[in-house]
Amino acid sequence: MARREIVTLGHPTLRVKAKKIHRVDESIKALVQDLIDTLEATPNGAGLAAPQIGVPLRAIVTLADGTRRVVINPEIVEESEEEVEGEEGCLSIPGWYGPVWRKQKVTVRGLGPSGKPLKVKTEDFEARVFQHEIDHLDGVLFVDRIEDRSRLHRVEPEEEASDDEDEVADTEALA
Ligand code: NI
CA of 115 to the centre of ligand 1 (A): 24
DSSP 8-state assignment for residue 19: B
CA of 37 to the centre of ligand 1 (A): 16
| Residues, Cβ < 5 Å to ion ligand 1 | 90, 175
Specify the pLDDT at position 141. 98
Specify the pLDDT at position 37. 97
**Alpha carbons 58 and 56: distance in angstroms, whole number:** 7
Q: Is 133 a catalytic residue?
A: yes
DSSP 8-state assignment for residue 91: T
CA of 161 to the centre of ligand 1 (A): 19
Specify the pLDDT at position 168. 44
Domain boundaries, the chain: 12-174
Amino acid at 55: V
Q: What residues contact residue 66 under an 8 Å CB cut-off, 6+ apart?
A: none
Flag residues of the chain having pLDDT under 70: 1, 157-173
Q: Which of 88, 126, 133, 160 is catalytic?
A: 133
CA of 136 to the centre of ligand 1 (A): 7
- Residue-wise pLDDT for 49-74, tens only, equals 999 999 999 999 999 999 999 999 99
- The CB-side HSE value for 163 (13 A sphere, CA atoms) comes to 0
Question: What CATH number should be reported for the domain whose range is 12-174?
Answer: 3.90.45.10
Specify the pLDDT at position 159. 56
